[in-house]
Chain A
């Protein structure tokens, strides 16, 4: 097997092992319902983690996504409740504004060569502050459209269900995999993350690529924010605190190298699902504190980063003996 698939395979294995463990422990665990709920409950995290995957693949980072989700929630709630706009009018407005915000961050990063960490940290404070300025209180959303969204689902055998959140997630996932592997812009993202200077010398439009990455990520974070309101029926400025770190953790557990250039969108989904399974196991158990999730995630992160280290140092040893290394003849 190609070396580069090892982290992905390891992630999928861990997910299956955890799911198997849960099924062995608890009677009703092994079911379509539990499985599809994993998607429903974590759709917003998965959507924003997909965006984060692109950012990390390009060699960057984006800390603003948690605040973006909160800000989008509050703004959506205000526009629907106070300004009496229909949600289907509100969503495009929100998504467009968020994308512009992302392109602005991308512009700063690319044009002035500022570190993404700092720019997006500023973005994080700005958006969180903005949410508080819009409203300190939690604003409930009572529009009937939200009820119909909550009621809609496609039933699956075994009590499973594809909710609106899940359907949005699956659409985003399909689009992301397509972009990552079947378009030039996607491959350019990998190239920029692999070696920015060489990419430029090879004629990759580095600036445009980065602009795309940060715009797309803010778009997805905003979409995640909208999906988040489907669960909470409200907008709250304190929501999704630290969610950017959960997203980054999912990406890394999913096998993407933090240094950029290597990784898979599908891996990220499994990274999210792993966190979801651990939570489900804990809630089935009933005696464990839900903060145990964090401890497990911490351990997993550690293990995965060590694993990547091992593999990448194996790759660096290009003189390593192997039959796949031919001599020039």
Chain B
């Protein structure tokens, strides 16, 4: 890292109807540094990024790249100036091939026309740098969210000349890919590229960044050397208050009394060839079951099988003792199941509808439309969840697409919590939410299970699975390999069973 300033933002402000998203924000970026941009959900990180990449026009303030004023340039011009951005959530074109997504707008040409062959081979090379070997001619939408995120990163990395901006690039990735990304980031910074890195994983911040800037409620709080800012100080700067260390773990691990609890759902030998090997599973009322495993190990697949999104070809499923066959998610919902999917953008929210409407959607659907909730009831439910999950929104009736990424995630979660299910499946419930809300969500999940709800949690963060679950099922290569309960549950045990991979 050198002391040469490459990018400077001064006095930037940006308002949306009802919110001042950015208020006199400054930022200075040096050549060859990784600069973490931190802040709670709705603090204005993504807005800042969209302002300095020309996607939003700011109300006031200036952006300089190597001394040149780029404040009024268009996004494509800024891109050609050498700033490349990977925006929060996958923002690629699902209907184009992987290779095209990487090279859109800068396709290699031969004699004036697009050279597909070179493009495809270059795309393979770019992905290989991230250790990804996939068919680049397939449509992007045929790949999982994690792979799509890697493709987005590959595009950003390949384009980056002087500044690379990564807005929560690691939200769908697991340890291995994150490590891969970090090694690429290190190589880029060694070549002098400056990197802006946004994430809610504090460990990652301390692992890779040189300096940290903090935003809170649209205000610039300050920039600090990593060494001068211990985690606790960072958290209190982000949230404006200190938070208690960890929720109490005394109430944890109640494997003993499990037998007394009623079985809610039993899956015996349920599976689908080529999709997931047959699994056996019992879920008790008042119990949190965790699914652990690496990416692609079959965690989400199990959830989709149970919820009727995908039909099993072997095995049986019993809900409270009676055999069930969910031919569609609707049937499952009627039986009291709820599933909060990981890809909220595609499967979760309806962007045009308001925060309130999105929250009450599942509850209303379950009650049937002829038993409509009154306006007052709707408002009360929505308000309760906005308060308990700390959803940052200027107004109940704001279209949900105008919320920040993490707050949208909280809305999806609120919807399923509000639907009062008897079995709740949560796929990555804390992805993209800030550390304050993270704890709140864990607390709510534990509270619900105490009330007798059966809950299944899928999370890439081992710490979270371990902390939250009464029982953990470990998966590998789409096979159930181990079940841990009670005191056996620890990160080390989960890791070693994945490593052993046998029964």
Chain A 308-329 per-residue mask, 1 if CB under 8 angstroms from chain B, else 0: 0000000111111110111111
Supposing A195-B94, A321-B275, A324-B135 touch, asked if A203 and B79 sit within 8 A by C-beta, the answer is yes
Which has the most chain A C-beta neighbours within 10 Å: B91, B104, B144, B295? Answer: B104
Chain B, residues 131-143, CB within 8 Å of chain A (1/0): the string is 1111101110111
Q: Which stretch (B183-191, B296-304, B372-380) binds chain A?
A: B296-304
Find chain A residues with CB under 8 A from B101 CB.
202
A317 touching B310, Cβ below 8 Å: yes
Any chain B CB within 8 A of the CB of A197?
Answer: yes
**Pair B143/A202 contact, Cβ less than 8 Å:** no
User: What chain B residues lie within 8 Å of A197 (beta carbons)?
Assistant: 91
Complex-state Cα separation, A193 to B96, whole angstroms: 10
Q: Is B485 an interface residue (CB 8 A)?
A: no
A159 within 8 Å of B (CB atoms): no
Residues 96-129 of chain B: 1 if any A CB is under 8 Å from the residue's CB, otherwise 0? 1000110011010000011000000000000000
B76 touches A204 (CB 8 A): yes
How far apart are the CA atoms of A96 and B273 in the complex, in Å? 60
B91 touching A202 by the CB < 8 A rule?
yes
Given A182-B113, A187-B100, are A319 and B133 also a contact pair (CB < 8 Å)?
no
* Cα distance A195–B304 in the bound complex, in angstroms: 26
Chain A contacts with B in 57-97, Cβ cutoff 8 A:
none
Q: How many residues of A contact B (CB 8 A)?
A: 41
B residues less than 8 Å from A191 (CB atoms): 93, 96, 104
Compute how far the CA of A83 lies from the CA of B221 in the bound complex, rounded to whole angstroms. Answer: 74
With A181-B114, A205-B74: A321-B104 Cβ-Cβ less than 8 Å: no
Check if B96 sits within 8 Å of A190, measured CB to CB: yes
Give the residue of A178, A261, A325 whose beta carbon is less than 8 angstroms from that of B95.
A261
**A198 to chain B: closest residue by CB:** B91
On whether the beta carbons of A184 and B75 are closer than 8 Å, the reply is no
Interface size class of B (residues with CB under 8 A): 35 or more
Q: Which of A188, A194, A325 contacts B143 (CB 8 A)?
A: A325
Instruction: Tell me the bound Cα distance from A206 to B60 in angstroms.
Output: 25
A33 contacts partner chain B, Cβ-Cβ < 8 Å? no
B278 to chain A, nearest CB (A): 14
- Within 8 Å CB of A199, what residues of B? 93, 104
* Contact across chains for A201 and B135 when beta carbons are under 8 A apart: no
Q: In the complex, what residue of chain B is closest to A196 when comparing beta carbons?
A: B93
In angstroms, how far is the closest chain A Cβ from the Cβ of B9?
19
Asked if B371 lies at the interface with its beta carbon under 8 angstroms from chain A, I say: no
- Interface flag for B158 (CB, 8 Å): no
Residue of B139, B272, B275, B301 with most partner-chain A CB within 10 A:
B139
Bound complex: CA of A316 vs CA of B96, how far in Å? 14
Asked if B134 and A326 make an inter-chain contact with CB atoms under 8 angstroms apart, the answer reads yes
List the A side residues contacting B295 at CB < 8 Å: 327-328
Q: Does B176 contact A (CB under 8 A)?
A: yes
Selected contact of B304 from candidates A182, A194, A319, A328, CB within 8 Å: A319
B150: which of A193, A198, A324, A328 is its contact (CB, 8 Å)? A328
Q: How far is the CA of A246 from the CA of B179 in the complex (A)?
A: 55
- Residue pair A324, B94 in contact (C-beta under 8 Å): no
Please give the distance in Å from A325's CB to the nearest CB on chain B.
7
| A148 close to B (CB within 8 Å) | no
Instruction: Using known A-B contacts A261-B95, A319-B301, A319-B310, determine if residue A203 contacts B141 with beta carbons closer than 8 Å.
Output: no
Interface residues of B in 261-312 (CB under 8 A from A): 272-275, 295-296, 300-301, 304, 310
Q: Check B403 for interface membership: any CB of A closer than 8 A.
A: no
- Cβ-closest chain B residue relative to A205: B76
The number of A-B residue pairs with CB atoms under 8 Å apart is 116
- In the complex, the answer to whether B273 meets A321 with C-beta atoms within 8 Å is yes
With beta carbons under 8 angstroms apart, the residue of B76, B113, B147, B274 that contacts A203 is B76
A239 to chain B, nearest CB (A): 36
B163 sits at the interface (CB 8 A)? no
Encoded as 1 (CB less than 8 Å from any A CB) or 0, chain B from 69 to 88 comes to 00000111001000001010
In whole Å, how far is A170's beta carbon from the nearest beta carbon of chain B? 19
Q: How far is the CA of A318 from the CA of B114 in the complex (A)?
A: 29
Q: Measured between alpha carbons, how far is A183 from B139 in the docked complex, in Å?
A: 19
Q: Would you call A262 an interface residue if the criterion is a C-beta within 8 Å of the partner chain's C-beta atoms? A: yes
Judge whether A287 is part of the interface by a CB distance below 8 angstroms: no
Contact A183 B113 (CB under 8 A): yes
A195 touches B93 (CB 8 A): yes
**A190-B96, A318-B144, A328-B295 given; A204·B113 CB < 8 A:** no
User: In the complex, A321 Cα to B93 Cα: how many Å?
Assistant: 22
Instruction: Report the separation of the CA atoms of residues A228 and B139 in the bound assembly, to the nearest whole angstrom.
Output: 39
Q: Which residues does chain B contribute within 8 Å of A182, judged by CB atoms?
A: 113-114
B79: nearest residue on chain A (CB-CB)? A203
Find A194's partner among B93, B138, B155 (CB 8 Å cutoff): B93
Q: Is A289 an interface residue (CB 8 A)?
A: no
Interface contact B92-A202, CB-CB below 8 Å: yes
* Interface membership of chain A positions 161-196, coded 1 if the CB is closer than 8 angstroms to chain B and 0 otherwise: 000000000000000001001111001101101110
Q: What is the minimal beta-carbon distance from A251 to any residue of chain B, in angstroms?
A: 16
Query: Is the pair A187, B107 in contact by a Cβ cutoff of 8 Å?
Result: yes
B177 interface residue, CB < 8 Å from A? Answer: yes
A200 at the interface (CB under 8 A from B): yes
Q: Which residue of A lies closest to B351 (CB)?
A: A197
The reply to whether B105 and A188 form a contact with Cβ atoms under 8 Å apart is yes
In the bound complex, what is the Cα–Cα distance between A2 and B246 (angstroms)?
50
Nearest A residue to B54 via CB reads A203
Q: For the complex, is B55 an interface residue (Cβ under 8 Å from A)?
A: yes
Chain B residue at minimum C-beta to C-beta distance from A202: B104
Shortest beta-carbon distance from A314 to chain B in Å: 9
Using known A-B contacts A191-B96, A198-B92, A203-B75, determine if residue A184 contacts B107 with beta carbons closer than 8 Å: yes
Binding site for B on A (CB under 8 A): 2-4, 178, 181-184, 187-188, 190-191, 193-195, 197-205, 257, 261-262, 315-322, 324-329
In addition to A2-B137, A319-B310, A328-B295, 9 A-B residue pairs with Cβ atoms within 8 Å of each other are A4-B139, A178-B113, A184-B114, A190-B96, A195-B95, A198-B92, A202-B93, A203-B104, A318-B144
A-B contact list, 6 entries, CB within 8 Å: A187-B114, A200-B75, A261-B94, A261-B95, A262-B95, A319-B275
Which B residues contact A (CB, under 8 angstroms)? 55, 74-76, 79, 85, 87, 91-96, 100-101, 104-105, 107, 113-114, 131-135, 137-139, 141-144, 146-147, 150, 155, 176-177, 272-275, 295-296, 300-301, 304, 310, 477
Rank and list the top 9 A-B pairs by shortest CB-CB distance, nearest first. A321-B274, A327-B296, A182-B113, A261-B95, A194-B95, A194-B93, A321-B275, A198-B91, A203-B76
